[in-house]
Structure 1
Amino acid sequence: MIELNANIIHEPKPKLVSKSDKDNLRRCIVSRRNMYKYEMIRFAIDPKGFVVPDIGCRLPGRGVWLEASLKAVKAAVDQNLFSYSARCSAKIPSNLAENIEKKLFERTSGWIGLAKRAGFLVTGHDKVRAKINLGDLAVLIQASDGSLLARKRLSACAKDFPCVEVFTSKELSNVTGRINVIHGALLKSDFVTPFLADVRRLSGFRSNQVPETEIRKLGRNV
């Protein structure tokens, strides 16, 4: 689950798009819609003709842009749109979608690591709750496999802030160097905007489902 604050990441405007906004718009080869670059993945063709996800938009050559979602990637592959858009016979790696998710996870976890080292990340239910009460919170981060009841209660306290639940407890623990991390808080800093932009893209390749047992627990306790 991701709830993004429009004040931090602006949604595309249906009217009156400025010149600077237009510079950040690209057309998805599947939907043919103009979208902001932070909602998309850029692809390049390497010297051997393989499609390569250019997550950081740094590779040379004519880029191909696609909405950041597993569904869009599958559609582009099935309809041979990479070859059509790149104007060449593009080869598709068998692990293309998995590679995209891996690279996006590395970027998002990298922001968490940088924020931790700079002192802008706290973990643990009580510490996160304290930051919410102090008004220092920028993003609530919760493990997707944590207790649904505990996540619901804490997110209710931070209802005016983005809530990110695309990481497992194991992933958060590995990134932060702590044990059994379920709740975390990214504090107000320059890390917030790029983190949310990459999380938005990562969420398109992850599907987090709440176990039925947790749903029953929530029903009994609320």
Structure 2
Amino acid sequence: MTERKCILTGDRADPAMLIRLAVGPEGQILPDLRAKAPGRGAWIGVSRPELESALAKGKLKAALARAFKTGELQIPDTLPDLIEQGLRKALLDRLGLEARASMLLTGSEKIDVACRKGDVRLLLHASDAAADGNRKLDQALRVGQDAEGTDLAGITLPVDRDALSMAMGRDNVVHIAITDSRAAARLRGAIGRLESYLGCATEAPAHGEPASTDAPGVG
């Protein structure tokens, strides 16, 4: 898809990193995270704190009224929560899919071996993983990537081990190693969207060549 414009900031970006808002059958504004809902939509590319501020000050309502050319819209107070819940679910669902497709490894010993062999394309840590365990696997990753002495490290997810374990159908998932490059790219996208929204982005996912800058923010 071509770039879209955030209705709050005017900035343009890849839609994979934005949030589409759509109008429900009764005029309610709802997140359309997969950008599949029929009809017109409006795009936002701000963090949760910025969205909450825009919602409280009426800026979001005004921007949506301009985008949809109507003031007869219902914006739920829970919209920031709905977006965060949806982004978390999208990330966990993606991890579950990759696990079922055997695109990843769990278990510190298996991950350590794969890291040192250079087979790991993406290393992930649960938010409540022990710092010592993270350091050991990060070092193994650097060894396998011939990057000793650099700051190369895994990504600490904004998701704890209980949520990871439930999503993947495995016990005590604390660390995850992605061994397939395409799976790693898919997960970087899901992680990047959530972290960007939470205001804690640690790694910007790649989305290919820059797109056209002439696309509107509504669609």
1:82 matched residue in structure 2: 64
C-alpha displacement at 1:192, in angstroms?
A: 2.3
Conserved? CA contact 2:118–2:141, under 8 Å = no
TM-score by length of 2: 0.76
Following superposition, the deviation at residue 40 of structure 1 comes to: 0.6
Q: Which amino acid aligns with 1:195?
A: L
Q: How far apart in 2 are the matches of 1:55 and 1:132?
A: 33
For structure 1, the 5+ residue unaligned runs are 1-22, 209-222
Q: CA deviation at 1:84?
A: 2.8
Aligned length: 186
Aligned partner of 2:22 in structure 1 is 44
Matching residue within 119, 135, 145 for 1:152: 135
Q: What's the counterpart of residue 12 of structure 1? A: none
- Which aligned pairs between 1:3-42 and structure 2 lie closer than 5 A? 23-42=1-20
Please name the residue that 1:96 is paired with: 79
Give the 3-state SS of the residue equivalent to 2:94 in structure 1: helix
**Counterpart check, 1:139 vs 2:122:** yes
Q: CA deviation at 1:164?
A: 4.3
Cα root mean square deviation, aligned = 2.1
| TM-score relative to the length of structure 1 | 0.76
User: In structure 1, which of residues 117, 125, 129 is the aligned counterpart of residue 112 of structure 2?
Assistant: 129
Which sections of structure 2, spanning at least 5 residues, go unmatched? 143-151, 201-219
Structure 1 residue 87 displacement after superposition: 1.8
Q: Structure 1 CA distance, aligned partners of 2:99 and 2:111?
A: 14
Distance 1:39 1:72, change over 3 A: farther
Secondary structure of the residue that 1:191 maps to in structure 2? helix
- Greater percentage in strand: 1
The sequence identity of aligned pairs, in percent, is 26
- Alignment of 1:168 onto 2:160: yes
CA contact (8 A) 1:64 1:85 kept: yes
Distance 2:199 2:12 in 1: 25
Which stretches of structure 1, 4 residues or longer, exceed 6 Å deviation after superposition?
Answer: none
For 2:158 and 2:119, the matched residues in 1 are separated by 22
